[in-house]
A = this chain, B = another copy of it.
Amino acid sequence: MVQVAVMGYGVVGSGVVEVLTEHHDSIAKRAKEEINIKYILDIRDFPGSPFSDKFTKDFNDILNDEEVKVVAEVMGGTNPAYEFTKKCLMSGKSVVTSNKELVATKGAELLEIARQSNVNYLFEASVGGGIPIIRPISQCLAANEVIEIAGILNGTTNFILTKMIRDHMSFEDALKMAQQLGYAERNPAADVEGADACRKICILASLAYGKHVYPESVHTQGITEITLEDVAYASSWGGVIKLIGQVKRLENGKLDISVEPMFIEKSSQLANVDDVFNGILVRGDATGDVVFYGKGAGKLPTASAVVADIIDCVKHLKARKYLYWADGTNDYVTPYEDTSYAIYVRAEAENKVDVFNKAMELFSNSRAIVRANAPENELAFVTDAMTVSQQEKALKALAEYGAVIKSKIRIADL
């Protein structure tokens, strides 16, 4: 029998307790050990809970109990999750987590502590909810170079964009609907401004390329500026707008990594990932493109990934699993202004024809695109790849020529 503790009894934590309790027998068979929840840590009271004998408000109960071998940290946030995780790992307990914020900001340090203590720190649930992605990438890595990872990593924003694309709902209305359905929080900033997707692409990038990528080094742009006009132009171009987290390693060893809305061709596998679903494309030099698709969040999908990690820890109490990356360096990510990609531009101008002719001079191979019912003074075009600093220079020149730039959106090269 192995004793475990669950820290945090929110949505995911109660799901973990539910899965461990209801699947108790089949899990024992899989883990080849009975798994018993000894403690549930939460500062709140849960009167009448069937698990009332397990609740504690004192972290030291868990830390000082040598019987507890595996701890599920499902509190979220970095404080006190960071301190608690560190102490557990140092005292020889394996830790599993769904806490993407903590892994994205402190992953390298915690993995190093786990290595030194010869225990495991696993976080399958931190990216893609119930979609197995951390292990498959480790596995792909075994005999592959990862050329690129690109994914729809946030279900809330994908739901909003899907409503905008399919039902021509405005961003504001779609966000309100997402909040009513419980897909978005009352303060939706972490989702709609891209921070959540950024943490996830940082975790995937750190894993795939072996050095920690910190969220603050990643250009991150959300979907708050996306309009129905842009959605219409994307459609006439032959695609859809998706919020994409992407990373690839450049020849100089640095990473090109960002989170931003992108035009995606309809034929791409990621273009058909709709609603609250996530889709993650991993491009390997030997495997080619492999895509993982499923619900990226939710109580039971996430809880089942946490429980799978608990089982893995129980099976590896003595032999540590190989899941590790080194700390990153300041210059590991290439400056965003040096990255190069094609763009879509929408502008307004009274001297529209002149402005478009000017755009043909300023941008690489710019082609006009149109939409139905566009106002007389609107123009839009797509270009070939240019660096971000070249783009900015050209857009500034175009503005000086009389254009009011309304949107600039990256075109994916997936």
- Smallest CB-CB separation from A137: which chain B residue? B132
- A59 at interface by CB-CB < 8 Å: no
Give chain B residues whose Cβ lies under 8 Å from the Cβ of A293: 269, 289-293
Q: What's the Cα separation between A31 and B143 when bound, in Å? A: 10
Give chain B residues whose Cβ lies under 8 Å from the Cβ of A307: 142-143
Question: B139, B269, B319: which contacts A132 (Cβ < 8 A)?
Answer: B139
- A382 at interface by CB-CB < 8 Å: no
Contact at B132–A290, with CB atoms within 8 Å? yes
Give chain B residues whose Cβ lies under 8 Å from the Cβ of A143: 19, 23, 27, 303-305, 307-308, 311
Give chain B residues whose Cβ lies under 8 Å from the Cβ of A319: 319
Query: Which listed segment binds B: A38-46, A81-89, A239-247, A294-302?
Result: A294-302
Give chain B residues whose Cβ lies under 8 Å from the Cβ of A272: 269, 272
- A288 at interface by CB-CB < 8 Å: yes
Give chain B residues whose Cβ lies under 8 Å from the Cβ of A32: 322
- A236 at interface by CB-CB < 8 Å: no
CB of A51 to closest CB in B, whole Å: 18
Question: B292, B301, B311: which contacts A292 (Cβ < 8 A)?
Answer: B292
Contact at A132–B140, with CB atoms within 8 Å? yes
Contact at A290–B139, with CB atoms within 8 Å? no
Contact at A288–B284, with CB atoms within 8 Å? no
Q: What's the Cα separation between A131 and B292 when bound, in Å? A: 9
CB of A52 to closest CB in B, whole Å: 24
Give chain B residues whose Cβ lies under 8 Å from the Cβ of A31: 142
Q: What's the Cα separation between A53 and B290 when bound, in Å? A: 36
Mark A51-73 against chain B: 1 for CB-CB distance below 8 A, else 0: 00000000000000000000000
Give chain B residues whose Cβ lies under 8 Å from the Cβ of A141: 30
CB of A129 to closest CB in B, whole Å: 8
Give chain B residues whose Cβ lies under 8 Å from the Cβ of A284: 130, 304
Count A interface residues, CB 8 Å. 47
Contact at A130–B287, with CB atoms within 8 Å? yes
Contact at A131–B287, with CB atoms within 8 Å? yes
- A414 at interface by CB-CB < 8 Å: no
- A135 at interface by CB-CB < 8 Å: yes
Contact at A294–B286, with CB atoms within 8 Å? no
- A179 at interface by CB-CB < 8 Å: no
Q: What's the Cα separation between A32 and B319 when bound, in Å? A: 13
Q: What's the Cα separation between A124 and B315 when bound, in Å? A: 20
Give chain B residues whose Cβ lies under 8 Å from the Cβ of A290: 130-132, 292-294
Known: A272-B272, A319-B319. A286 touches B19 (CB 8 A): yes
Question: B140, B295, B305, B315: which contacts A289 (Cβ < 8 A)?
Answer: B295
- A136 at interface by CB-CB < 8 Å: yes
- A340 at interface by CB-CB < 8 Å: no
- A3 at interface by CB-CB < 8 Å: no
Give chain B residues whose Cβ lies under 8 Å from the Cβ of A304: 140, 142-144, 284, 286-287
Contact at A301–B322, with CB atoms within 8 Å? no
CB of A125 to closest CB in B, whole Å: 11
Contact at B294–A287, with CB atoms within 8 Å? yes
Most buried by B among A32, A130, A135, A272: A130
- Smallest CB-CB separation from A290: which chain B residue? B294
- Smallest CB-CB separation from A32: which chain B residue? B322
Most buried by B among A141, A289, A304, A319: A304
> Which 10 pairs between the two chains have the least Cβ-Cβ distance?
A130-B287, A143-B307, A290-B294, A286-B304, A291-B293, A132-B136, A143-B304, A286-B300, A142-B308, A142-B311
List, sorted by A's number, 5 A–B pairs whose CB atoms are closer than 8 Å. Answer: A130-B290, A135-B139, A142-B304, A286-B304, A291-B291
